[in-house]
Amino acid sequence: MPENFTTDSITTNEPDIFDIMAGASPQTQSYLDVLNEEQLEAVTHSGSPLLILAGAGSGKTRVITTKIAYLIAEKNIDPYQILAVTFTKKAANEMHERAIALDARAQYSQIRTFHSFGAWFLRLNAQAAGIDPNFTVYDDDDCVTLIQKAMPKLTKQQVSHFAHEISLAKDYCYLPDSPKLDEIDSDPEFREVYEAYTKRLRETGNVDFGDLIMLPYLVLHNDEYVRMRLFNRFRVIMVDEYQDSNVAQFLLLQELCGAKYGMAASPENPDGIYVCVVGDDDESIYKFRGAEIQNILTFKDKFPGTKIIRLEKNYRSTEQILSIADDVVRNNEGRLGKTLSAERGQGKQPVLAFLPNQDEEANFCADLIKLAHEHGCPYSDWAILYRTNAQSLTFESTFLHRKIPYQVVGSLKFYEREEIKDILAYLSLLANPRDEIAFRRIVNKPTRGIGATTQEKLIAAARENIVTAADYNLLEACKKSAASLSKKAKEGIEKFTEAFDEFKDKLGIGAARSVAEEVVEPVETSAAAMKAIAGTAESPTATAVAPEKEKLPGEISVKLSELIELISEKSGIKNYHETQDEVSGTQRVANLQELANSAVLYECSREGLLEFLDHIELDRTLENPDEETDDNRVTLITLHNTKGLEFNRVIMTGMELGIFPRQDKTGSDLEEERRLCYVGITRAKNELYMTNCSVRRMYGRTEFMAVSPFLLEIDSEKLKTIGHAPASFRRSSFRGGDYGERGLSHPDTESDPIKKKYSKGTKVFHDDYGYGIISFSEENEEGEYCITVSFENSGKKKFIPKYQSHSLMVIKD
DNA sequence: CCCGTCGTTATTTTT
DNA sequence: TAACGACGGG
């Protein structure tokens, strides 16, 4: 372990600008005064579409929230007419809170995630969208189950493959009959599955995540009445993290601001609907989930007259950190281009450590963290970043062993736990007796002697003679069919329906009446909902009556948490998990209690239930309650999950070709990996470390790893290197140039020449092992070309040349 | 219905 | 390597 590290934070003497601003009193200082020139321009701009290109750490949330406050306070915009959408609940909440802090009237603005906006919209326009107003949102697992049931002959693999493609199709707003579906998969079976799935999903009255965007778009696109009402409802529309929007979201945005109908603000129509998007094309990292970077790159073409404002002053990272971030990202071609300037001074030189393997990598991190800790640096200053979740394992075991407290972000999600999903299924079926997925999940859980055959029988019975939506009622079908079942099944199903009657009573919707009847009522609402939507320039008091209003504390007579506790108890789920196994059982019961706790603010009524289900279905971020609340921990996190976060000290691990980036990445995919690297680097406020392993155990094999090309893009003068740098890196230090010169893989030129050149008897030189001769060549099971080399001084080593192209070369006679 | 064993398969995942 | 799912015996 090198001793010449200084681990003192440089922040102690350099409070950042937000600390200063946080202390500013709004009475004595206008919130506009703290903005820099560009921020101010962005806040006060009006009269045309606006694209704010906000670099990492440039204060974009501040700009949006200030703009909301400014519009309300200075421009007389009714807060009710402002819609701001983000991608995560966390971001939405933060934005809402910060806007309210600037101007209390912002509480009446719609500040939501895209999906929760979609859900809100669909509840008001359920009929137009062809769904049940009491729909619940199916998550990806539920969709897979539904496809499997709709198309039983498909294998599990096919099902998840098609599920993925369907969700992708919805990200593009492609319906099952769209010719463009071929762009995703031209297999006719795909259309068939998509169609069957859609039909089945509509029968349940529910929606999936994709529908929350696609259906509102379709409604607005097809229904002029709804559209015109909406144009009166929102006069200002803002989108945060715009680089992560997908095509469907773009289409929805276009409809919301009436771009196609000349309703959007433009130089010709300055009083039209004002649209402002904020994002950073360099931070677009979700292409694999449908995000379309072209949305931001071509925004100005799609919205004529767009004003572009760049926020390039970075208040987060030190200059040295930003400088290497720029070294990396400037290699991308598809970008609008920005140069960040550091507002916090030089800072410490970033460190690049070359380590032999991942165990040493973890130890290196542990050494760093411990050393810093001895100097008074809290564990929570640190974040370990990695490309894949699997990489967390070594860190976890090392940290466990070395007693370093850590938290893994984003691995096991609270709402994906079995016991939680069980209770949610009870709630869902209660809300919507057509919810087949929920029904299947719980009808025999805990076991009531209702096997697969009985389940099919019951569902078939429920699906018979369906005339209106209300006829499809799984619980009613259970009651009616009970008599025709075997004794054991009959008893089971009676227990099941009796429990549900009790739950309905608790919910105050009465056992005698079917939920569906009540549920259908609000369909009328088209008109009522329209009225609510149409409400425009009313006072804030009037807006409080809007259907999306928050429940007020004290208004709740019976808490929804009581229902959850009742269900846990009476359904037998609690007992089931208690007795499953003692160790994790206790935890699971605690999780159930946690779920109940999270429902205390909801009323025990049908409305409260729906609100609650909406809330959790759209917000899966609830913290894992199991770990004690000691928050002084190192954060272990994937690069993707770091977006929007910042840490005083960041270690980017696994900086190797094949891990980061994966080696099959080329072209625009490689550019996305590079952006991911940029995101990682720019998370660091004060100190940045990067680690590289020369050997890594993967998939049961030990592979020699090449240096990540991203490391080679950084001017090596800017990094302090530690450990034995492999030749591939040393060479790059004085050669520079493109990949070709550095001998790094370029997919078109790589594999073939190597196959030809490397045959038995060939003399080679390896950067780490010296001179040798190829003693054996073969193909391994994967069909990869392998060679065994006898080195003069280092014995025999086995290589796969295609992974060694940078460090292994042929010696010409 | 539960448990063991064998075989398969390995990105990233806002909602 | 390891973790998870499928399958078969008790």
DSSP codes, A199-215: HHHHHHT-EETTHHHHH
A662: nt with nearest C1' to CA: B11
Interatomic separation, CA of residue A701 and C1' of nucleotide B6, rounded (Å): 20
* Distant-in-sequence, close-in-space partners of A812: CB < 8 Å, separation ≥ 6: none
For the segment 42-81 of chain A, residues whose CB is within 7 A of strand B: none
Nearest Cα neighbor of A284 from A250, A243, A249, A247 is A243
Q: What is the DSSP letter of A464?
A: T
Q: Is the CB of A12 under 7 A from strand B?
A: no
CA A437 – C1' C6 distance (Å)?
22
Are A212 and A149 within 8 A, CB to CB? no
Instruction: For residue A112, give both structure tokens.
Output: 């939501």
Cβ of A244 near strand B (under 7 Å)? The reply is: yes
Nucleotides in chain B with any atom closer than 7 Å to protein CB? 1-2, 9-15
Closest alpha carbon to C1' of B1, residue: A447
Q: Is the CB of A422 under 7 A from strand B?
A: no
- Which residue is associated with the tokens 């062993």? A401
Is residue A319 within 8 Å of A688, Cβ to Cβ? no
CA gap A77, A501 in Å, rounded: 49
Q: Is the peptide bond before A661 cis (omega within 30 degrees of 0)?
A: yes
- Nearest nucleotide to A112 by CA–C1' distance? B15
Q: Which nucleotide is nearest to A209 (CA to C1')?
A: B15
- Three-state secondary structure call for residue A24: coil
CA angle A622, A626, A631 (to 5 degrees): 80
This prediction has a pTM of 0.76
> What is the H or E stretch that residue A46 is in?
none
Q: Based on DSSP, count helices (H) and strands (E) in chain A, helices before strands.
A: 34, 26
CA of A704 to C1' of C7 (A): 37
Distance measured from the CA of protein residue A308 to the C1' of nucleotide B6, in angstroms: 60
The 3-state DSSP class for residue A284 equals coil
Q: Which two tokens stand for residue A741?
A: 């010169």
Residue keyed to tokens 């080329």 = A666
Report the distance separating Cα A220 and Cα A660, nearest Å. 42
Contacts of A443 (CB under 8 A, 6+ apart): A450, A455, A458, A478, A493, A496
Tell me what pLDDT residue A755 has. Answer: 43
Tokens representing A506? Answer: 């608790």
Which helix (H) or strand (E) segment holds residue A657: the answer is strand A656-657
The SS3 call for residue A572 is coil
pLDDT the model gives residue A520: 35
Nearest nucleotide, CA A699 to C1'? C1
What average pLDDT values come out for chain A (813 residues) when binned by 10 residues?
Answer: 36 40 48 92 96 94 95 94 93 94 95 95 93 87 84 82 91 93 88 92 91 96 93 95 96 94 91 95 94 95 94 95 96 91 90 93 94 92 94 88 87 73 88 86 81 80 77 84 81 87 84 40 38 38 37 67 89 77 67 82 87 76 53 93 94 95 86 96 96 89 90 93 83 39 30 52 69 80 77 76 60 55
Q: Name the DSSP class of A269.
A: B
Sheet of A647-652: strand order equals A406-408, A634-638, A382-386, A647-652, A684-693, A351-355, A720-722
The CA–C1' separation of A69 and C9, in angstroms, is 69
Establish whether the CB of A453 is closer than 7 Å to any nucleic acid atom in strand B.
Answer: no
Chain C footprint positions (protein CB, under 7 Å)? 1-3, 5-6
Residue A155 near residue A165, CB atoms below 8 Å: no
Helix axes A418-431, A582-597, angle to 10 degrees: 40
Q: Is the peptide bond before A625 cis (omega within 30 degrees of 0)?
A: no
Closest CA to A649 of A1, A5, A58, A3: A5
**Four-residue CA torsion sign, A201, A204, A208, A210:** positive
CB under 8 Å to A16, separation ≥6 — which residues? A315, A316, A344, A685
Query: CB of A197 under 7 A from strand B?
Result: no
**Residue A646 CB neighbours (<10 A):** 15
Alpha helices, DSSP H only, in A381-451?
392-401, 418-431, 436-442
Judge whether A316 and A57 are in contact, CB under 8 Å. Answer: yes
What torsion, rounded to 10 degrees, do the Cα atoms A711, A716, A722, A726 define?
Answer: 60
Q: Which of residues 366-395 of A touch strand C (CB under 7 A)?
A: 393
Protein-nucleic contacts, chain A 648-687 to strand B, CB < 7 Å: 662, 664
Task: Confirm whether any atom of chain B, the nucleic acid strand, is less than 7 Å from CB of A209.
Answer: yes
Minimal CA–CA distance to A318: which of A349, A351, A344?
A344
- Is A492's CB less than 7 Å from nucleic acid strand B? no
Pairing type for strands A763-766 and A770-779 reads antiparallel
Q: How far is the CA of A454 from the C1' of C10 (A)?
A: 25
Mark residues 657-716 of chain A whose C-beta is closer than 7 A to nucleic acid strand C. Answer: 697, 699-700
Q: Which nt has its C1' nearest the CA of A701?
A: C1
Q: Which residue has the tokens 């009006």?
A: A46
Q: Is the CB of A134 under 7 A from strand B?
A: no
In the structure, how far is the CA atom of residue A554 from the C1' atom of nucleotide C5, in angstroms?
A: 48
* Distance in angstroms: CA A195, C1' C2: 38
Which residue approaches B9 most closely, CA to C1'?
A699
